[in-house]
Amino acid sequence: YSEFVSGNKPTYFVGLEFSTALDSSAKRAADAESRVKVAKSSNDLQSVRLDLEKNIALIERKMEAAFVVATGAIEAEKFRSRTVREQEVEYRQGRLALRDLLQTYRLYFDAQSRKVRAIGDYHIALNELAAERDELVK
């Protein structure tokens, strides 16, 4: 080994044997199979990407709808509150029946419940969108 490394007597030959069939049907089949696998992986990736984009768009529309519902519920609750205050004044003055005041209160409490539910649905939609975009953990 030392003579081989020193280079004093260059009578040793080192070689590499490489054998391949240049035009074999097995090699062509393997190449075609690898191209098909790459194309399939590319198509799968594109399909998953399109599905994610569709899901994000759907969740964004859901969030926008929840926002509109929440703002409407807030406005409705505000109007019901004003109606209750006005009808309380009318009841104290004796111009309104107790039954009508109680019905107004029931509608007001229903509006409050709808407002709370709508705001909760909006926040759920926001969190779903953040989860779909992987923005929950920062």
pLDDT tens figures, 90-138: 999 999 999 999 999 999 999 999 999 999 999 999 999 999 988 877 6
In the chain, domain spans: 56-132
Has this prediction a pTM greater than 0.85? no
Inter-residue contact 128 to 62 (CB < 8 Å)? yes
Buried-exposed string 81-108: b where 16+ CB fall within 10 A, e elsewhere: eeebeebeeebeeeebeeeebeebeeeb
Max alpha carbon distance in the chain (Å)?
A: 126
- Segment (H or E) for 118: helix 98-132
